[in-house]
A and B are shown apart, each in its own frame.
Chain A
Amino acid sequence: MIRRALILAGATPLLLLAAGCPEDAPRSPDDGGADAPPTSVCPTGYLGDPSADAVVELRALRADGTDVPLSDGDDLAVLFPPQGGRVAFVGVRALNVDGCGVQIVGALRDPGSKQLRLDGRTVNLRREPDGWGTTGRGTTTNIEDSAEIGDYSNIPLCPNQWADQDVFDVSFELEVVVTDRRKKTTTKKIAVVPRCAEPGDKETACRCLCRNGYVLGETCGEDAGVDGATP
């Protein structure tokens, strides 16, 4: 194996010469320098004015899968995702950013302890007729489908082994950071009230999993968040 590695190390420059320049390689979201805008790898392209400040509005999914605007003081739906537990699905509507390979980091912070939980992911925004870009599909999202929720920040909230208060019916801070491939970045912070948003057994389980002091493995009913989904 060592000999193979040495041969490979020696041969690599020759292979690079033979192969030419790596221009055809897919670009990383990090490789967009400020001077040379990276080539878009998705149909969205640039959204708005590259010289203007980025503008971001926050959005979130409801229990029925609709995508709604999120303003200061609003309720934030706490939902049962395919991965189990409970999460909030947070998205954005954005202008003056590169719509391809956007990094979205969503976090919920306990205002008392300052502890937070976050989820970050690289997504392509979808160009709207008005020139803005949005996360998600623009129609109702099936929150039971891992593929459809993949463009939203899946902020992991429960089991609650992190906050010093229940993660429902009390105020938290929602923070979202959006960074495009040219490193243009903007941050939005608002207050939200997480709500267990699915009725019946799911609400009961949500209030159990999301209460302050939950111990992993504690029984929270049949719908505690680990059934139903196939990976």
Chain B
Amino acid sequence: MSGPAARERAWHAPCSGNSAARNGRSATLSLGVLRMNRYVALATALPVALLTLVGCPAEPEPPLAIDPSSLQAPARGQGFQFRTPLFQVNAGEEVQDCYFFKVSELAKQGGLPENEPVNLHRIQMVQRAGSHHMNLFRVKSIKGLDPNAGPVSRGLNGQGECFKSPNWADWPLIANTQQDGEVDWTFPEGVANVFQPDEWIMLQTHYVNASSQKTPDDAEVAVNWHTIPKEKVVHQMGTLFATKQSIRVCKHNPSPEFSGTCQFKNPSREVNIIGANGHFHGRGKTFDMYAWDGVSIAKPADDARFYRSEAWDEPPMLRSPELDLQVKPGGGVYFTCSYQWHPPADEIGGCKALDDADKSEEKDCCYTFGPIVEKNEHCNIFVYYWPQQETGDVFCN
């Protein structure tokens, strides 16, 4: 470990439990391949947090609000807040909406210079119960989803441009949460995700009110961006997004595993991974990520594994300071998604519904790629790192 991360760790070491306690769910220790639940995480983090309160000179930050309406905005000139309106998710519905925001307008709203880059250093995301996920993207190539077409594109039960993932195939992820998730993430000292004033960002909310997940009340999401001045930016952060889409989980191939790789094109220096999250649906059994050398075809050894999720509906979102992994020059990430087929629920139409949706001639009650939790599967990884690559953010299809 070196650079800003080392400095951050050195300075904050006695106080590092503070953010762990705030984040709760993030306390999934990677290299030990242990997935702690929130209670274990809390039990681990609490003594450290108490020590922090007793022994650390810095004023502890207030806990993150879990109700979007009570999330306090950053101080004027130090960031801004944006949010969705309250909206309803009726029984049996999956609602996926894409909200667009222009960086310069957000900056102006927060009292920042509207014609200068925004240097994101800390992000807070809060959502009401029922969310399947919340993704925040940086808009790149515009296809079916166009910010100039309006501030929001709504999707319902798999229909609408906001459900079509090719629309954001090359949009780098800024941050994301899963079900029951809230995020409060401060990047290492000197690291910022830099946004130009003319850029758009897209907040994608996905709420489910069905058998697998419930949305008991109205839905709502709020996000805070805390910024640092440009003279404090030492390294830009980058994101890596990889997805497997031609996946099938079938009755007669009931335990498939899909694997992929994605490297940072950086042959001469290390890359620091400071955030990781995997996403699959209800047939998902194990989601693993490994540090990888960029040249080996074999799956890395267990001691290279830095991420494991065994709970599709509450996957760990690892982030710094708990996750601070240095990848050797030329290396990257090797990931695997393994599944276990089980019969689809009668209420969604059983195997007939899956077969009807399967364009292949093979009708084998297969779950295929797609957004509908009850019928489809995913295999996506989101990795956050610094310094950003010369070839931009990283996408592996």
Binding site for B on A (CB under 8 A): 1-2, 26-30, 41-43, 81-85, 87, 100-101, 103, 105, 107, 109, 113-124, 137, 142, 145-150, 152, 154, 156, 159, 161-162, 175, 177, 213-219, 224-231
Contact = CB atoms under 8 A, between A and B. Distances in A.
Contact of A225 (B144, B169, B243): B169
Given A137-B362, A175-B297, A227 B255 contact: no
Contacts of B258: 119-122
B259 to A, nearest CB: 4
B180 to A, nearest CB: 12
Contacts of A43: 252
Given A2-B39, A82-B166, A162-B263, A150 B248 contact: yes
A117 B267 CA distance: 15
A228 B166 contact: yes
A41 B253 CA distance: 7
Nearest to A144: B359
Nearest to B163: A231
A117 B141 contact: no
The secondary-structure label for the interface of chain A is loop
B371 A231 contact: yes
B294 to A, nearest CB: 5
Contacts of B369: 146, 231
Interface string B45-61: 00000000000000000
Given A115-B330, A149-B246, A156-B260, A84 B166 contact: yes
B166 A216 contact: no
Given A82-B245, A137-B362, A231-B369, A215 B255 contact: no
Interface string B375-396: 0100000000000011111111
A13 B358 CA distance: 39
Given A137-B362, A142-B359, 14 more contacts: A27-B255, A82-B166, A105-B259, A118-B261, A118-B297, A123-B253, A147-B358, A177-B297, A213-B391, A215-B391, A225-B169, A226-B143, A226-B167, A231-B245
A178 B376 CA distance: 27
